[in-house]
Amino acid sequence: MASAAPFSGSLLRLTKPVTPQPPFFSPPPSCSHFHLRTRPRKAKRPIDGALASSSMAAAQPQTRDVQQQGAEEAMKLLFVEMGVGYDQHGQDITSAAVRACKDAISSNSIPAFRRGSIPGVNSEQMKLQIKLGVPRPVQHLLDFERIKAVFPYGEITSCEVVDGGMICSSGTCIEAMGDKNDDCYIVNAAVYVGY
């Protein structure tokens, strides 16, 4: 058996099961059974109060409960659309947010608002609440007018930004595509639809 020394600081450790459970299929005799065990999650650190925004206020549990309750009273929620957007070149966080919103709404049709499925409600009463998970270092660069322009109809009642998404390497920096570095921005979007 090989020494585990090179992996001593790894988050994942391979261990043999104590009591193997019978498989649904018969694996070839050469296969060995391993389980991946991860370390328990650390407690989240408190959010720094230096960034004063609605997203930071929403991160506080008591404030969030009151805010959610108020939003539910103001809007009857029908469904939630979710999407992910990327900007691999140019380091434009708004482009990633726009793509996330387009991804969230692009695979849906909402005939209930046009066909009278909900008595007394039509597309003019549609309300949208947008929640974006954006990496904290670039949240201040968002252009909300470009994001709101994605939605063809419905009244946008709120656009909340929370810590989320990711900044990672795209693996390449192409100056001709507007790159300043190799950062790739990833944004998550949740669009709450109701009336």
Q: Is the pLDDT of residue 54 over 50?
A: no
This prediction's pTM: 0.64
pLDDT band at 19; cut points 50, 70, 90: low
- Among residues 189, 171, 188, 145, the alpha carbon closest in space to that of 89 is found at 171
pLDDT band at 37; cut points 50, 70, 90: very low
Q: Is the pLDDT of residue 194 over 70?
A: yes
Tell me, which fold does domain 54-194 have in CATH? 60s Ribosomal Protein L30; Chain: A; (3.30.1330)
